[in-house]
Amino acid sequence: MAYQNSRRFLNAFVEIEGALKTISKNTRNRPFYQLVADAANYDPFVRDIAVELREYGDLRNAIVHERINDEPIAEPHDQVVERLEAIRDLLTTPPRVTPLFLRKVVTCECDEALSTVAKRMFEHSFSKIPVYRGREFVGLLTAEAITYWLADRISDQGFLVEEKVEVVLNYLDKPDNYRFVTQDCSLFDIIRLFDEFHHNGTRLQAVLISDDGTESGQLLGIITAFDLPRIYRLIRGKQ
């Protein structure tokens, strides 16, 4: 069929425009270049492919506006169309944390002995562990906090055996070092959370997944900075 690639390209392009408007919360008609710039302020994925999207915008203009004998002067290659459709799919139906990052999360109680919890972290190669008081989330214990506490208490005898986890939480440099999300959260939103903390000069230690996206919900999974390379691989594998 003549100009089938052009039709596929334009259909995908229209859907991408709609997705960019949603991302940027834009209700007005704006030039595509400006729409890309607006969405890039909200979404790290759009920011990464902004130059590429602008190039597709140029191609779209050539297909729609530049004609010879009432026929478009450009017909996209198969690879171009497939790439644009892959971007459309990522923007309109982004991959979710489910089921990739749902797993049994090892936790601890705030009144447990630090020696017990530290050994648990060592056995599982954890640098952080969620802390609960019964069903109430208390905070995120990190190896960094343990190090600060250790430096402060190094002269005490027998402190490691007797100290409770709750005391060590006071040594967290940034107690607000976590975020809770639902299992429907997109991987782009996960990247955005880590990105926001980075731009604010702080570090997001973990994203905790619960059934209702709150601290009081049932804990279903955990995502840390160590998972980001995997997330990027998953996204790029779908492009």
Q: Read off the tokens for 13.
A: 């392009």
| Spatial CA neighbour of 54 closest among 30, 82, 34 | 34
User: What is the Cβ-side half-sphere exposure of residue 17, based on CA atoms within 13 angstroms?
Assistant: 17
| Distance of alpha carbon 158 from alpha carbon 162, whole angstroms | 7
Asked whether the beta carbons of 70 and 52 are under 8 A apart, the reply is: no
Q: What does the domain layout of the chain look like in residue ranges? A: 4-92, 108-237
| Spatial CA neighbour of 239 closest among 57, 87, 117 | 87
Asked whether the beta carbons of 130 and 208 are under 8 A apart, the reply is: yes
| Distance of alpha carbon 46 from alpha carbon 88, whole angstroms | 11
Sheet containing 219-224, strands listed edge to edge, beginning at the edge strand earlier in sequence: 178-181, 206-210, 219-224
Asked whether the beta carbons of 205 and 173 are under 8 A apart, the reply is: no
Between helix 78-92 and helix 50-65 the angle, nearest 10°, is 120
Helical H segments across 74-209, by residue range:
78-92, 114-124, 143-153, 159-162, 165-168, 187-199
pLDDT tens digit string along 72-90?
667 888 999 999 999 999 9
pLDDT at 160: 58
pTM (2 d.p.): 0.79
Residues of the chain with pLDDT under 50: 1, 239
pLDDT at 72: 61
The class (CATH top level) of 108-237 is alpha beta
Write the DSSP assignment of 63-113 as a string of letters.
HHH-EETTEES----HHHHHHHHHHHHHHHS--BSTTTTB-PPP-EETTSB
